[in-house]
A and B are shown apart, each in its own frame.
Chain A
Amino acid sequence: MRQHAIVIDVAMLGTEAWAYLGRICAISASQVVVVCTGPTSVAQRVRGLRLGADDWVTKPCHPEEVLARVEAALRARQAGASVTDPPQTVVAGELEIRPDMFEAFVGGRALGLTRREFELIQLLSATEGRVIPRERIYERVWGYAMAHGDRSVDVFVRKLRKKLESASPGWLYLHTHFGVGYRFDAQEAAEAPPEDGDEEPPATSGSLPTA
């Protein structure tokens, strides 16, 4: 699960409300920020939106309306991103990774990746040749810190390998670095050293200040 939006009631933050809202909007450039708070003046709403909030909802309001506004702000953000940052296709060995399709292809045939599998191969291929630690992979793909002992990265690498081996049997793409993580590097199977596996051996209400 990855966090895409933040809903804030600035009235809860007391005198620090504007400074906090400004900081949140600055450091959460990739996330939508929606303010949901009690009755306010026009000047307060204008100030909040100019600080970077994507939308402003006045209480009392229905939760469905808040959700719909968050979704609308996300759509607007995604539409903007798709125009400014066109996704780049990565080609490695027989593999073609297409971010615009959330899919990878071998000889024009789709591998049938789930979203998680796609995000994993996209991350690894973007740093081709470099070892990415498990914890870092988890943070980037799952959006949270990895719990100690969590085998999710290993399991998803295993699933990816299975699909890659089936579609492109003559190539190795994902390489294990025991105790560290994984590296993406397209190598012909005959040239590459054998992979032992993909898993570690068992071991672990306030008032809003005026604008």
Chain B
Amino acid sequence: MARLSLVPKDREFFNLFDEAGTNIQHAAQLLGRLLKQWPDAGGLGREILICEQEGDRITHDIIHRLNSTSVTPIDREDIHALASALDDIVDFTEEAADFMGLYNIEAPMEQALQLTGVLEDACRNIAQALSRLRGFQELNHYFVEVNRLENEGDRITREALASLFRGGIDPMVVIKWKDIFERLEHAIDACEHVANILEGIVVKHT
């Protein structure tokens, strides 16, 4: 049975987290398209940068509201941790996209396409969980799925890194792709971190 609150709580936080969920999902989709179309990705890198800036704006709005609200619907430290972790996802996503141009990558790697697919799925699950956060109900399957996707991301990254260190490969290719694979893995890890924070919030409210 849901607990009855006797004090008014600012529900705007849920709207902001909903916005953040939509933003990470959009950024991940753009990264997927950028990699599939690379090197003919047009202005997708710029669009991802706009998502990163939008993520910063949402995080700032959440922190500002947190500092000006006396009673919050979720523990203050959880709101802060969740906002920061969501910002990390879009930051790593933007870094991966930025490195494609910065490193003058000629063509995508199959494993990078697989990792962006995993990232898109993880972000979609998180966005759906965030949109249902108000009720704190029936969210566990999202967390289970994000954890499964993180394991899948780890497996793909390990295999991708191992394949780079087989003999005879251009050292510049190794350096560039090692960085990009690691950024993609960090983005997926950040999704798992968000899922863990959300799981803790749900436990406290049920």
Known: A155-B106, A156-B107, A203-B110. A145 touches B172 (CB 8 A): no
Interface members, chain A 64-123 (any B CB < 8 Å): 116
Least Cβ–Cβ distance between B52 and chain A, in angstroms: 26
Decide: B164 and A147 in contact? CB cutoff 8 A: yes
Decide: B166 and A145 in contact? CB cutoff 8 A: yes
The docked-state distance in angstroms from the alpha carbon of A102 to that of B130 is 56
Decide: B107 and A150 in contact? CB cutoff 8 A: yes
Q: Does B81 contact A (CB under 8 A)?
A: no
State which of A145, A150, A202 has its C-beta within 8 Å of the C-beta of B167.
Answer: A145
Decide: A151 and B110 in contact? CB cutoff 8 A: yes
Q: Does B71 contact A (CB under 8 A)?
A: no
The docked-state distance in angstroms from the alpha carbon of A149 to that of B166 is 13
Q: Does A148 contact B (CB under 8 A)?
A: yes
Known: A145-B166, A156-B107, A202-B110. A150 touches B160 (CB 8 A): no
B171-182 interface mask toward A, CB cutoff 8 Å, 1 = contact, 0 = none? 011100100000
Known: A147-B177, A148-B163, A149-B160. A142 touches B170 (CB 8 A): yes
Interface residues of B, count at CB 8 A: 23
User: Which label, helix, strand, loop or mixed, suits the secondary structure of the A interface?
Assistant: loop
Closest to B38 in A: A155
The docked-state distance in angstroms from the alpha carbon of A147 to that of B174 is 9
The docked-state distance in angstroms from the alpha carbon of A113 to that of B154 is 39
Q: Does B39 contact A (CB under 8 A)?
A: yes
Counting chain B CB atoms within 10 Å of each CB, the highest count among A142, A148, A154 belongs to A148
Decide: A151 and B170 in contact? CB cutoff 8 A: no
A interface residues (Cβ-Cβ under 8 A, vs B): 1, 116, 142-156, 200, 202-204
